[in-house]
Structures are given as C-alpha cells and as structure tokens.
Amino acid sequence: MTITTIATLAVESDDLKPVEQIDITTDLTIVLTVCVLAAMALIACAVILARPRRSKPQLHAAHVPNKDRARWQRRIDDVLLRHKASGLTSEQAFTELAAICRDFASVNIGQDMSAHTLTDIRLEPRNPSTRSGLDLLRVTIEALYPPEFADRTVNAHASQASVEDAAGWVSTLVERWGR
C-alpha cells in the first residue's frame, strides 16, 4: 500500500493583495488593426475574383489601307476573269468569292473566320469598330449562299444572281469595311 502525502499550504488572508491592473490596450489595438486590414484585403480579393471574365478577347477591326484594298480587289477580279474564260463554273466562282469574304474578315478582325456559318457570324461579339464590318460580312455571305448552294432550276433568287453581281457584293464588303 502506498501512502501519499499531501502538502497543505496555509495562507493568511491578510497577506493577499490585489494584483495590479494589466494594460492590454496597446495589444488589443494592434490585433484589431491587423483584423481590419485582413478583412479589407479579403473584401478586395472577393470583389476582384467575382468580376466576370471575358471569354473572348475584344476584337478590333483594322483600318484597311487602300493598297490592301487593291490586293483584295485583284483577287475578286481574278475570280471574274477565270469565270469569264470558262475556267470556273458559277458555283466554283461563288465558293471562291465567299472564301475571299471570309479571308478578308479574318485578316481584318484577327481571328479565323473561314469556317464561320451565318449563325457564327451573327453571334460574333460586336463593338463599335467591328459592328459594321461583321454585319456587312453576314449580309454578303447570306447573299452568296443561295447562288452557291441552291438548285438554280428551283430557286428563282439563285438563278437571278450572277457571278458579276456576287463579285460586286464582295467588292462592296472590301470597300466599306471599317469605314
């Protein structure tokens, strides 16, 4: 069996004195300042991170210098000459003219437009510098579709459009882009 001794301490109540007041105001002020600064930093981070992100870069239409317009016009004229010389069928000429439109838009917007459908062109984000060019591109491609794809014996609009008309539409696109 183990015997445990317990020490007893006797203190007289006359010996008890109150402890002096502890000054923690400086410490509390520092902690409060750090907490306020941390809260402000968290709010700033939340605001910055909550902003919507742009899914596509903002497109800006390029100003097309006259010498570049002449280069595109030469491409259009080449299609006309080859068609008149019977080197191209009407359908092939319409296809090449539509490709010229898309190539021209790709160069001036800075994004590949070669596979864009009418819906893709319609949904393309617009800003003041690209709005008129994209709208003109959509209208031009829309005008080229019936002659390019429709059966000329059934579709009256397709049978009325000539390669010369289509070349004029594409020339108008080149001339009016960015103006």
Mean pLDDT of 119-137: 82
Q: What's the gap between Cα 110 and its chain centre?
A: 12
- For the chain, the domains span 66-176
Question: Residue 76: its pLDDT value, please?
Answer: 92
Query: How distant, in Å, are the alpha carbons of 3, 13, 142 from that of 17?
Result: 36, 9, 98
Distance CA(96)–CA(91), nearest Å, equals 9
Give residue 161's region: left, alpha or beta (phi > 0; psi -120 to 50). Answer: beta
Mean pLDDT of 23-50: 91
Q: Which amino acid is at 121?
A: I
Over its C-alpha atoms, the chain yields an Rg (Å, rounded) of: 39
Taking the alpha carbons at both ends of the chain, their separation in whole angstroms is 108
Query: How distant, in Å, are the alpha carbons of 42, 43, 55, 106 from that of 49?
Result: 10, 10, 15, 33
- Convert the pLDDT of each residue in 57-110 to its tens digit: 444 444 555 568 889 999 999 999 999 998 888 888 888 998 998 899 888 888
Distance CA(161)–CA(143), nearest Å, equals 9
